[in-house]
């Protein structure tokens, strides 16, 4: 596929997803533009990211540090990078230099290491606290009852900017099954940190439902880039 063809395809996919986001907002009575789009570019080549950037999408999500270390330096400086996967503490030094936002802060140990690394770089980082609202053993994140104390503890880390909360519901082909989990995250935000407006929730299969429950940023990969290459 030529660069022009790749750009045209990216522009078409981007317009379609943005239209779906705005329709979901309108359907639930929210204002246009209240939910941002994060394009999840993990496993896709830099050329694909570049095409979406040229089409007007500037915020991208990655979840593999090694891939990000190779990809991000080759792309334009105006792009905004979010880390969306589980971040191991020993990889914090790389995340601190590569990413502006973390969507999966789930421990004080990680918070402390990020803060230390960011201070050395004289940078800060926006963070969403991951909450395991579904109670799945396979999911990272805080238990809901741990949230108040965790948020209080974050105040001592001067290089971390809390933006809100994040969750991932159990996978189900019916997007409506995620609704109670999205609603629960919103309720936790409203109860424990109403000053933090961010709710990072919703992916390609269920983002209209997440938007109807208050999502402020959706993490969309497949609907933009297509099916991921198999490893």
pLDDT confidence of residue 229: 63
Computed over its alpha carbons, how large is the radius of gyration of the chain?
17
pLDDT digits (tens, 9 = 90+) for 82-115: 999 999 999 999 999 999 999 999 999 999 999 9
DSSP string, 105-171: E--HHHHHHHHHHHHHHT--EEEEEEB-TT--TTS-SB-GGGHHHHHHHHTT-TTEEEEEEE--PPP
Once rounded to an integer, what is the mean pLDDT over residues 121-144? 92
| Model confidence pLDDT, tens digit, residues 14-53 | 999 999 999 999 999 999 999 999 999 999 999 999 999 9
The mean pLDDT value for 193-213 works out to 97
**Nearest C-alpha neighbor of 219 from the set 103, 110, 53, 91:** 103
Please give the residue that has the higher pLDDT: either 134 or 189. 189
What pLDDT shows up at residue 230? 58
Residue 216 above 70 pLDDT? Answer: yes
- pLDDT category, 197, cuts 50, 70, 90? very high
Express as a percent the part of the chain with pLDDT over 70.
Answer: 99
CATH of 3-225, one of 3.90.1170.30, 3.40.50.10490, 3.20.20.10, 3.40.50.300: 3.20.20.10
CA–CA gap between residue 7 and residue 40 (Å, rounded)? 17
pLDDT cut 90: percent of the chain above it: 91
| Among the listed residues 204, 179, 217, the one whose alpha carbon sits nearest the alpha carbon of residue 13 | 204
Helical ranges in the chain per DSSP H? 3-27, 46-55, 65-71, 92-98, 108-121, 147-154, 179-192, 207-212, 222-225
**pLDDT at site 134:** 84
Contact between residue 202 and residue 219 where contact means Cβ atoms under 8 Å apart: yes
Which segment of 5-9, 82-86, 120-124, 176-180 scores lowest on mean pLDDT?
5-9
Q: What is the mean pLDDT of the chain?
A: 95
Q: Which residues contact 178 (CB under 8 A, 6 or more apart)?
A: 169, 170, 172, 202, 206, 209, 210
Q: What is the Cα–Cα distance from 128 to 140, expressed in whole angstroms?
A: 13
Q: Which of 1-5, 107-111, 187-191 has the lowest mean pLDDT?
A: 1-5
């Amino acid at each position: 596929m030529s660069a022009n063809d790749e750009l045209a395809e990216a522009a078409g996919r981007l317009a379609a997803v943005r239209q779906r986001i705005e329709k979901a907002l309108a359907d639930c009575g929210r204002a246009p533009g209240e939910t941002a789009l994060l394009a999840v570019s993990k496993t896709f080549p830099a050329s694909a990211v570049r095409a979406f950037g040229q089409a007007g999408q500037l915020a991208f999500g990655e979840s593999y540090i090694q891939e990000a270390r190779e990809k991000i330096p080759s792309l334009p400086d105006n792009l905004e990078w979010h880390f969306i996967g589980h971040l191991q503490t020993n990889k914090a030094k790389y995340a601190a230099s590569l990413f502006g936002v973390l969507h999966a802060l789930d421990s004080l140990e990680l918070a402390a290491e990020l803060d230390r690394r960011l201070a050395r770089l004289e940078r800060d980082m926006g963070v969403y606290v991951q909450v395991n609202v579904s109670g799945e053993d396979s999911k990272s994140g805080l238990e809901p009852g741990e949230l108040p104390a965790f948020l209080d503890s974050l105040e001592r880390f001067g290089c971390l900017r809390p933006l809100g909360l994040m969750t991932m519901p159990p996978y189900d082909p019916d997007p409506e099954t995620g609704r109670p989990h999205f609603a629960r995250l919103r309720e936790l935000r409203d109860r424990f940190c109403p000053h933090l407006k961010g709710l990072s929730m919703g992916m390609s299969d269920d983002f209209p439902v997440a938007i109807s429950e208050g999502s402020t940023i959706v993490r969309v990969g497949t609907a933009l880039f297509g099916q991921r290459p198999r490893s």
